[in-house]
């Protein structure tokens, strides 16, 4: 009979001045960027070389990392904002990624729960995020965590996420 060892999982708030955490963030984010949900292109050399340092300089950025058997497995990158209607901070979940070989284990829910802990410690009134219409797996995970589409008045419809490149 084969012995099956249990994998060790660590979920940590990243210190991006720590090369281990910085490299893990870049590795997972690059994996995500290169996949269909991330646009299908690897991060640029510039981004890989500079992102950790740029994020480390911004106290309003929070990164949660997941490791399985010391291997980078997932991340959440969130950025503080402010709700004018509530007059309180909010936390926008900017990136959520789980490396393909670790998907289907509920890891995204655990790293999102850690991000929610951060938001509560910051006194945030809410968490926000964007999700692609075609990413039904992520939508189901977010719904199970209590997220819903945003609207103030049903007659005006749901909020839409737009962008303009500069």
| pLDDT value at residue 120 | 98
| pLDDT value at residue 60 | 97
Tens-binned pLDDT, residue by residue, of the chain (166 aa):
544 456 899 999 999 999 999 999 999 999 999 998 888 999 999 999 999 999 999 999 999 999 999 999 999 999 999 999 999 999 999 999 999 999 999 999 999 999 999 999 999 999 999 998 889 999 999 999 999 988 888 888 888 888 889 9
* Cα within 13 Å of Cα(76), Cβ side: 30
Cα separation, 64 vs 96, in Å, equals 9
- How many helices, marked H, and strands, marked E, lie in the chain? 4, 5
User: What is residue 100's DSSP assignment?
Assistant: G
| pLDDT value at residue 6 | 65
CA-nearest of 92, 102, 79 to 131 is: 92
Cα separation, 8 vs 6, in Å, equals 6
| pLDDT value at residue 7 | 80
| pLDDT value at residue 18 | 98
**pTM, full prediction:** 0.91
| pLDDT value at residue 152 | 80
């Amino acid at each position: 009979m084969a012995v099956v060892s249990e994998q060790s999982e660590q979920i940590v708030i990243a210190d991006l001045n720590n090369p281990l955490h910085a490299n893990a963030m870049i590795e997972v984010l690059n994996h995500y960027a290169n996949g269909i949900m991330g646009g299908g292109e690897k991060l640029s050399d510039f981004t890989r070389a500079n992102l950790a340092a740029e994020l480390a300089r911004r106290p309003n950025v929070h990164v949660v990392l997941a490791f399985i058997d010391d291997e980078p497995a997932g991340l959440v990158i969130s950025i503080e904002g402010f709700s004018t209607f509530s007059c309180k901070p909010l936390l926008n979940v900017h990136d959520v990624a789980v490396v393909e070989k670790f998907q289907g284990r509920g890891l995204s829910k655990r790293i999102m729960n850690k991000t929610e802990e951060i938001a509560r410690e910051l006194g945030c009134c809410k968490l926000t995020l964007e999700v692609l219409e075609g990413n039904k797996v992520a939508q189901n995970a977010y719904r199970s965590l209590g997220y819903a589409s945003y609207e103030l008045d049903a007659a005006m419809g749901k909020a839409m996420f737009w962008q303009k490149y500069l």
